[in-house]
C-alpha cells in the first residue's frame, strides 16, 4: 500500500498525519498494492493505532471487492 500526499477522499484511502507518526498530511492508498522484499524495509516510520488499522482493513476490503 503506497503512501501519497495526493488526497482524493475516496474509499480506498486512509488519511494519515502527524498524530499517526507521519511528517506531513498524507493518505495510505489501497488502489496501488504491491509486494516488496522485506529486506527493502530499513526502518519503521510509524505504527498505526487500532482505529487506523481498521480503516486500512476497510480500504483494502473495498479495493479488493471483499465483503465481511
**pLDDT per position as a tens digit, 12-62:** 999 999 999 999 999 999 998 999 999 999 988 888 999 999 999 999 999
Which CATH number covers residue 45?
2.30.30.110
Query: What integer pLDDT is reported at residue 68 of this predicted model?
Result: 66
If one counts the domains in the chain, the total is 1
The pTM for the full model equals 0.84
Which domain covers residue 16, as residue numbers?
2-64
Q: What span, in angstroms and rounded, lies between the C-alpha atoms of 64 and 22?
A: 26
pLDDT at 2 over 70: yes
- Residue 23 CA: distances (Å) to CA of 17, 20, 43, 47, 57: 7, 9, 15, 13, 22
Query: What integer pLDDT is reported at residue 46 of this predicted model?
Result: 85
Q: Which long-range contacts (CB under 8 A, 24 or more apart) does 47-50 make?
A: 47/21, 48/16, 48/20, 49/20
Query: What integer pLDDT is reported at residue 15 of this predicted model?
Result: 97
Query: What integer pLDDT is reported at residue 59 of this predicted model?
Result: 97
Amino acid at each position: 500500500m503506497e503512501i501519497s500526499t495526493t488526497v482524493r477522499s475516496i474509499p480506498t484511502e486512509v488519511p494519515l498525519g502527524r498524530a499517526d507518526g507521519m511528517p506531513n498530511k498524507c493518505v495510505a492508498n489501497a488502489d496501488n498494492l504491491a509486494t516488496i522484499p522485506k529486506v527493502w524495509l530499513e526502518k519503521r516510520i510509524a505504527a498505526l493505532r487500532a482505529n487506523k488499522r481498521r480503516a486500512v482493513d476497510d480500504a483494502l476490503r473495498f479495493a479488493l471487492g471483499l465483503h465481511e
